[in-house]
Amino acid sequence: MPYYVCPMQKEDVAQVTAIDREAFPTLWPPVNYQHELQNKLAHYVVACKDEGIVEESKAEVSTGRGFLHLMSRVRRLFDHNRFFSNKLPPSAKQYIVGFAGFWMMAGEAHIINIAVRESYRRQGIGELLLISIIDRALELNAQIVTLEVRVSNTAARTLYSNYGFVQVGLRRGYYSDNREDGVLLSTEDISLDSFQSHFQQLKQAYSGKWGVALSHHITL
């Protein structure tokens, strides 16, 4: 699978914002990812293509300074000995296919969002991002990982259930666009052997399905 995960940088904000608007067009106000990069509680990662070409975004958004065009050609970005990387070649610009982020507060890693470009969905990228978030939460000594998901989003709820998330609450009218309820999900203590054993099995299954070798975490 020609994708890798690395920390979000300021150069990624335009592409991440475009993906956010494509994935969550009715949610308001939109997230200001430039500010999120300066938020000490926030941790964001991006999933990128393993090819050395940045394509022009089909979902460009206005940032107040006009439209940002994302065309350029870059060198190959991926070291095949590592799946996750935090180093890019000088002047390289990666093509982002998805992103995810969470806030770390009092031992809880609360996932803010996981989003994938529409044309790259159903290729395991969302699951890859979830794995990277859990790995990063472990590195930050989080005890649990939590999130909200729409009641109607059965595909996402199934994925989260597979990774040990269980319903711990229901937030009525949580989503501002249509007042849909949000299901609050949480893991058990992710440092427990029971969680770790299951998580490692899932990572091995993912690796076998998509033909990649996963590192144990990303380094930020």
Catalytic residue ranges: 148, 160
Question: Which region, left, alpha or beta, applies to residue 117 given φ > 0 means left and ψ of -120 to 50 means alpha?
Answer: beta
Write out the two tokens for 67.
């439209």
Q: Is the Cα torsion angle 31, 15, 35, 77 positive or negative in sign?
A: positive
Query: Residue 179, Cβ neighbours under 10 Å: how many?
Result: 9
CA gap 220, 218 in Å, rounded: 6
Query: Residue 93, Cβ neighbours under 10 Å: how many?
Result: 20
Closest CA to 219 of 53, 39, 82: 82
CB of 36 closer than 8 Å to CB of 44 = yes
Q: Which residues of 115-153 are buried (b: 16+ CB within 10 A; e: fewer)?
A: bbbeebeebbbbbbbbbbbbbbbbeeebebbbbbbeeee
